[in-house]
Structure 1
Amino acid sequence: TRPRSNQQVVEIDAGLVAFVREHLPLDPQARVRVRTADARAGLAKVPEGWADVVIADVFGGARTPAHLTSTEFLDDVRRALAPTGWYVANLADGPPLTHLRGQIATAAARFGQLALAADPVVLRAKRFGNAVLVAADQELPVAEFTRRVAGDPHPGRVLHGRELADFAGGAAPVKDATAVASPAPPPSVFR
């Protein structure tokens, strides 16, 4: 959708980066640069206000590292984002959804608008799964987001506003000092 945009990927696994460069080379015209670094360290090198979107799809094995779940990490994200920028995070959790609720509270402490998309079964804390959190300071296109999520081959549900705040259930924002990695998925997830 944005063929001429500059994109920067930060990947900590140097072996994976080498494999992709060798076997799945990027089109040189694509304006996609891949850097080998920790996501937070790589984000720190991005100029202030450079990014229209920061996507956190970060897993060490099957867990998001603790230092990428805090308000301090989101301060780094905010610094890198343009004033109209969006933060998008792929989050994984299972019953009782403590990690997911904490990530909603963390994003709400740094952004004015939030929306969350997930499988309704995950939202009801019936099984482990992924959710996508979108955060910004301007109005989000919630109706369009809801339509797209509902029309997906694996339809989901979108929460926003009061419904999302109620879902977060008064969870506290996560700080660096108390951050923990996301929970490990049960063995059945990868069968």
Structure 2
Amino acid sequence: MGSEPVAGVRRVRFGNAELSADPERPGGWLLRVDGIAQSYVDLDDPSYLELEYLRYMGYVVDAVEPFDRPLDVVHIGGGGGTFPRYLSAVRPGSRHLIIEADAALAEFVDERLGLRAVPGVDLRIGDGLTELATLPDASADLLVADAFEGLRMAAGITGPVFTAQAARVLRPDGIYLVNLVGTRHHLDEIRASFPYRVLLDGDVFAGYIGNQVLAASRIPLPLDALHRRTDQEMPPVRVAPDPSR
């Protein structure tokens, strides 16, 4: 990135994007779309994850041994590039393909926060399913679905066609991470393709409702390491098996 980031607002495909500096954390930048927080990036410390659901994803990846192994990662949805930045910091040498449907948002983030300058990042503008279908079989260790259409989860992410492509692109020991925006999702297709699944959320407090993260794989997930990672967190994190129905 050739210049210091600056705050600003831009009309993008799915709403109005606003980037603002965090007055309490040097290097911190918050990206909102139509007033809803989409990404938080700390340019000085990419390992810092402000948003809870991204911390949940980080806990899963942190539990995968060897802990410093570089990963091949496909990100469906780019936002501010928070998770690619995190993985590049904690697992140097990782390679990232970011597939972003909102070209205006991607250019806004790249211009202000240097998305393409993140180590190992390849940014591709296009429809998530269409671009996923072009990738080689068994070419990714991790597939992250964190895509929005406005304030809703992108259509089809948990459906049969997208799930089949995710299973094809992931290696046999790969992990599928899905940000489940909202409260009700039909996960039958994912359950059929990935027999090992856990849900992470923070709803241990009465009345608390937030994003859930689904971690799914065709081999057993590293639950012992995951619990060691989450048991001491505050606020508490729940790690629970995803039921078959």
TM-score (norm. length: structure 1): 0.73
Q: Trace 1:30-179 onto structure 2 (pairs within 5 A).
A: 30-94=119-183, 98-99=184-185, 102-103=186-187, 105-121=188-204, 126-160=207-241, 164-165=242-243, 170=245
Give, in angstroms, the shift of residue 93 of structure 1: 2.3
Give, in angstroms, the shift of residue 106 of structure 1: 2.9
CA distance in 2: counterparts of 1:59 and 1:112, whole angstroms:
26
Deviations 1:98-131 (A, max 9, x none): 32xx22x332111121111112358x8x454211
- What is the identity, as a one-letter code, of the residue corresponding to 1:8? L
Aligned residues: 156
* 1:4 alignment partner in structure 2: 93
Greater strand share, structure number: 2
- Superposed CA RMSD in Å reads 2.1
CA distance in 2: counterparts of 1:48 and 1:77, whole angstroms:
10
Asked if 1 retains the 8 angstrom alpha-carbon contact of 2:110 and 2:116, the reply is no
CA distance in 2: counterparts of 1:130 and 1:14, whole angstroms:
25
Higher RCO (Cα < 8 Å, 6 or more apart)? 1
Give, in angstroms, the shift of residue 28 of structure 1: 4.5
Percentage of matched positions with identical amino acids: 33
- What is the identity, as a one-letter code, of the residue corresponding to 2:190? A
- Seen in structure 2, the aligned counterparts of structure 1 residues 77 and 64 have a Cα distance that, compared at 3 Å, is same
CA distance in 1: counterparts of 2:178 and 2:215, whole angstroms:
7
CA distance in 2: counterparts of 1:28 and 1:129, whole angstroms:
31
Gaps of 5+ in 1: 171-191
CA distance in 2: counterparts of 1:87 and 1:34, whole angstroms:
20
Give, in angstroms, the shift of residue 23 of structure 1: 1.5
Q: Secondary structure at the match of 2:152?
A: coil
Give, in angstroms, the shift of residue 64 of structure 1: 1.1
Asked if 1 retains the 8 angstrom alpha-carbon contact of 2:203 and 2:210, the reply is no
Deviations 1:61-110 (A, max 9, x none): 1211222221221100011111111101111223xxx32xx22x332111
Give, in angstroms, the shift of residue 56 of structure 1: 0.5
CA distance in 1: counterparts of 2:141 and 2:120, whole angstroms:
15
Deviations 1:10-51 (A, max 9, x none): 111111111122111147571111111111112112211111
Asked if 1 retains the 8 angstrom alpha-carbon contact of 2:100 and 2:123, the reply is yes
CA distance in 1: counterparts of 2:220 and 2:201, whole angstroms:
20
Q: Secondary structure at the match of 1:120?
A: coil
TM-score (norm. length: structure 2): 0.58
Asked if 1 retains the 8 angstrom alpha-carbon contact of 2:158 and 2:190, the reply is no
CA distance in 2: counterparts of 1:56 and 1:93, whole angstroms:
14
